[in-house]
Amino acid sequence: MAGPSWARVLVGALVVGLLVGVARAPGADEADAAASSASRPPPLTVELPPGLPEVATTGALPATPPGVRGVTAAGGTTVALTFDDGPHPVVTPALLDLLRDLQAPSVFCVVGSQVERHPEIVARIHAEGHALCDHSATHDLRLPQRDADTIHREVVGTLRLIQEAAPGAEVPYWRAPGGNWSAAVDDVARAEGMTPLGWTVDPRDWQGPGAEALVDRILTEVRPGAVVLLHDGGNDGADVLAALPVVVSALREAGYDVVLP
């Protein structure tokens, strides 16, 4: 397969970057104020290096635990984008603006405590055609070791918050905090109609590697059917927002469709 035209991809990415961009996220109180005073953060531009890798189309995807979906149901040259730990009052709206421009349906794995703070963003996620995923109430990495009542509260309590924020929305997926899957937790999610959703590409955007490294990591690791793990909560979102136009353009030029899992 011929490699993508990186010059064309880069130009497109920079144009979108100028239109979208992101501000470095302030603290919680400042973030709320910023979200109410501006619909989009100031623009951020990023100069990407030449010689980015071709999108990989061969090789096996990493295995996921039994009963956990780690690939798209459509298979073939499809890829799914997922975003964890939001909604964030500044990053998530900017991300939604960008995904609308890119026409890229995605999955938002939301945390209950954030859903309580920003239900209107959850409603917007649903209204704009994205999928919602239950990511627990408090992102407890030791959730499998908790008692049954705590597990129920973390999983089902968050599901109810999502349903209150976005009436009529389906919540088809459950994602374990930190990928700490267990039958005790996953069975509670399945009983509520949610499929445990893993991932097969983790570019570790939470480490703040920079947009260039993030693009390189995703395009190097992606394979047909991949589910990509990214974040709209827990960091300022700058790397993700700057990298996504390049990633999506490169994937589409290589023949991939961006789909829901």
pLDDT reported for residue 52: 75
Peptide bond preceding 53 in cis form (omega within 30 of 0): no
| Torsion over CA: 44, 230, 71, 135 (sign) | negative
CA neighbours closer than 13 Å in the CB half-sphere of residue 224:
9
**Cβ atoms within 10 Å, residue 38:** 13
- Tokens standing for residue 106: 């995605």
Residue 168 has pLDDT above 60, yes or no: yes
- 3-state class (DSSP) for residue 261: coil
pLDDT reported for residue 61: 92
Share of the chain above pLDDT 90, in %: 75
Residue 212 has pLDDT above 50, yes or no: yes
DSSP tag of 180: -
Q: What average pLDDT score do residues 81-109 get?
A: 97
Q: How far apart are CA 257 and CA 254, in angstroms?
A: 9
pTM, entire model: 0.84
The fold of 70-252 is TIM Barrel (3.20.20)
Q: What are phi and psi of 170, to 5 degrees?
A: -80, 145
The amino acid present at 119, given as its one-letter code, is: P
Q: What are phi and psi of 198, to 5 degrees?
A: -95, -145
The amino acid present at 81, given as its one-letter code, is: L
Site of tokens 């961006």: 258
> Catalytic: 97?
no
Q: Where are the domains of the chain?
A: 70-252
pLDDT reported for residue 85: 96
> Catalytic: 186?
no
| Torsion over CA: 39, 44, 45, 50 (sign) | negative
pLDDT reported for residue 236: 86
Confidence of residue 152 (pLDDT cuts 50, 70, 90): very high
pLDDT reported for residue 54: 85
Residue 249 has pLDDT above 90, yes or no: yes
pLDDT reported for residue 247: 96
Q: How far apart are CA 81 and CA 73, in angstroms?
A: 13
Q: How far apart are CA 223 and CA 72, in angstroms?
A: 11
pLDDT reported for residue 97: 97
Q: pLDDT tens digits for 42-93?
A: 444 556 667 778 898 889 999 999 999 999 999 889 999 999 999 999 999 9
Q: Which residues pair with residue 69 across a beta bridge?
A: 197
From the list 85, 231, 236, 239, the catalytic residue is 231
Q: pLDDT tens digits for 213-240?
A: 999 999 999 999 999 999 999 888 999 9
Residue 95 has pLDDT above 60, yes or no: yes
